[in-house]
């Protein structure tokens, strides 16, 4: 299949990288470009937490310490998204898989549904991440993120908030979780030729342009 600009592609894309590497930002742009559904596992978990159930309180504590939510809960959500795809539909998932067990689950589920997948990996050094954490605000209604000290969401007209897990100590814990669990999963995808490594330190536009170029090369090259 030849991928050109604004092509609808029935692929599953996963976007990974350290906290604040730009996964949500780029996933949104990619979803627009290729007419893909977009799911953020982090947003889904934060919405669960708002329900204030016993399980939600447990998740809240985990997130505020920078840990990972149990695989069984996350995998069930991902399975539902993948199984609900029509033949011609594609999907981009932001923030999954975050460990080897979730990576193996992805291989199994995509095999069962006959869908191909590719992992986009945003490579960003820690110094950039800490700076982005101090600037980020988000809208609790539409989940959009902002980076330049904006105060009001231009879409919902509500006050933007800071994420509790963007505190320096929690960010350090998220980074150590990432190194311990997510890096081994990335190595597995690299070994299986499923990884597209992108320099995530340029501007949002530069990173997006690089993703599009490399993505088209990779998909067209494999067809
Ligand atoms: P999640 O919400 O996914 O958090 P994360 O992985 O830490 O990533 P972030 O959302 O913080 O950053 P991002 O990479 O999306 O960057 P963004 O585009 O916002 O997960 C939260 C928690 O949920 C986890 O800690 C875990 O507990 C749990 N969880 C999630 N998935 C799970 C899973 N699979 N299994 C178990 N638990 C799971 O950009 C960041 C900021 O930088 C923004 O302000 C943005 O405007 C700005 N920005 C973006 N790109 C650029 C750029 N190129 N230059 C300058 N600024 C930029
Ligand atoms: Mg995000």
pLDDT in tens, 94-145: 999 999 999 999 999 999 999 999 999 999 999 999 999 999 999 999 989 9
Half-sphere exposure of 158 (CA within 13 A, CB side): 12
Average pLDDT, the chain: 93
Instruction: Report the C-alpha gap between 13 and 195 in whole angstroms.
Output: 10
Write down the pLDDT at residue 218.
84
Beta carbons of 134 and 30 less than 8 angstroms apart: no
Q: Which ligand is nearest to the CA of 93?
A: 1
pTM: 0.94
Write down the pLDDT at residue 222.
61
Kindly tell me if the per-residue pLDDT of 4 is higher than 70.
no
Q: Is the CB of 22 under 6 A from ligand 1?
A: yes
Percent over 70 (pLDDT), the chain: 96
Q: Is the CB of 99 under 6 A from ligand 1?
A: no
């Amino acid at each position: 299949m030849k991928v050109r600009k604004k092509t609808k592609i029935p692929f599953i894309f996963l976007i990974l990288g350290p906290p604040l590497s730009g996964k949500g930002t780029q996933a949104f742009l990619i979803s627009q470009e290729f007419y893909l559904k977009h799911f953020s596992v982090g947003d889904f978990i934060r919405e669960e937490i708002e329900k204030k159930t016993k399980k939600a309180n447990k998740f809240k504590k985990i997130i505020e310490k920078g840990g990972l939510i149990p695989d069984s809960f996350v995998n069930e959500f991902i399975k539902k998204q993948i199984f609900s795809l029509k033949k011609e539909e594609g999907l981009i998932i932001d923030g999954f898989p975050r460990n080897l067990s979730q990576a193996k689950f992805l291989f199994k589920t995509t095999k069962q549904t006959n869908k191909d997948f590719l992992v986009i990996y945003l490579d960003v050094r820690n110094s950039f991440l800490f700076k982005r954490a101090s600037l980020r605000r988000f809208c609790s209604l539409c989940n959009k993120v902002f980076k330049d000290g904006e105060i009001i969401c231009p879409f919902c007209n509500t006050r933007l908030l800071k994420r509790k897990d963007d505190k320096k100590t929690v960010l350090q814990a998220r980074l150590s979780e990432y190194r311990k669990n997510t890096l081994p999963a990335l190595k597995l995808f690299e070994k299986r030729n499923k990884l597209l490594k992108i320099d995530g330190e340029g501007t949002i536009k530069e990173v997006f342009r690089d993703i599009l170029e490399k993505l088209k090369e990779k998909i067209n090259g494999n067809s």
